[in-house]
Chains A and B, each alone.
Chain A
Amino acid sequence: MALAPQLEQVLGKLLHYGTLLASAVIAAGLLLVPASGAMGVRLATAGIVLFILLPVVRVGAMLVFFLRARDYRFGAIAALVLLIIIFSYLVGAR
């Protein structure tokens, strides 16, 4: 378990800065809307997509970490979570 605190630090930073980035993109988009309508909406949409992808990237980071730590059981669990999420998007697109 010696490696675990390190992973916690990495995930904490990823989620923190990811939230800041997505929020900044959304704010920029909304502020642009009065000036250039569609352009601003598109930027805000990009920010929303960033928010949706952030937890998915977090699962991906855990997958990489578990594989590197040769913890194949939890690597498989993280991969399963990713697969379920991808499958859910496919169901949505259907």
Chain B
Amino acid sequence: MYLGVGCVRLQVMKVCGVGVPSAEETPMTPLPEVEELVEAARAGDAAAWDALVDRYLPLVTAVIRRLRLSPADADDVNQTVWLRLVEHLDRLREPRALPGWLATTARNEGLRQIRRRARDLPVDPGGSTFDTAEVSDPGQALVDDLKSHALREAMSELPEKRRELLLMLLADPPVSYDEISARLGIPRGSIGPTRARALEQLRSSRALRGWAHEAPALPGGGFDVFLD
């Protein structure tokens, strides 16, 4: 799962997967910086590459999914995006722009597949040429997917117990308050206040503050800035 990257690091410190009682106020080891991972992957470190994949695959998958491609086409686009990143690693000047670069590359390759399919079909002079099955505002869709990515990064900044609490509250089917209380070792009555504190911490996380800083510069369709 996504947060596995942090977990791998924790594993090195032999505390992975177990909620340490004092963990609530102790931030987990932060995710490695993108720059570190890109640098290590450039040097041939396959584990760093895997960590990059784990970190950005949900974003790439979400962008591809919006285009409603056939499973085979979606797989081709996914594979092409990662192969492109491999060949692009040495040229990547600004690793922080990576989410935007990946989202834009996935979308452009997906649109290329749609056009290729459309060309294979007989042209209907009276009808629309092809249906991308897209939402009406593709620029906004990219912004939404990038925001979701920022939220996942923000979650990884939270102390383990707070993150666990939020994940349990989001679980479907829902986890009962009694179970949350038992699993986290906190009284039922403090679940609500803890949730409020966790969300507050999320809002002030580095990832979301960075997002708030970048988002105004991302008008719908203005994603050319990410292309090389």
Task: Determine if chain A interacts with chain B.
Answer: no
User: What residues make up the interface of A, taking CB atoms closer than 8 Å to B?
Assistant: none
Q: Which residues of B contact A (CB under 8 A)?
A: none
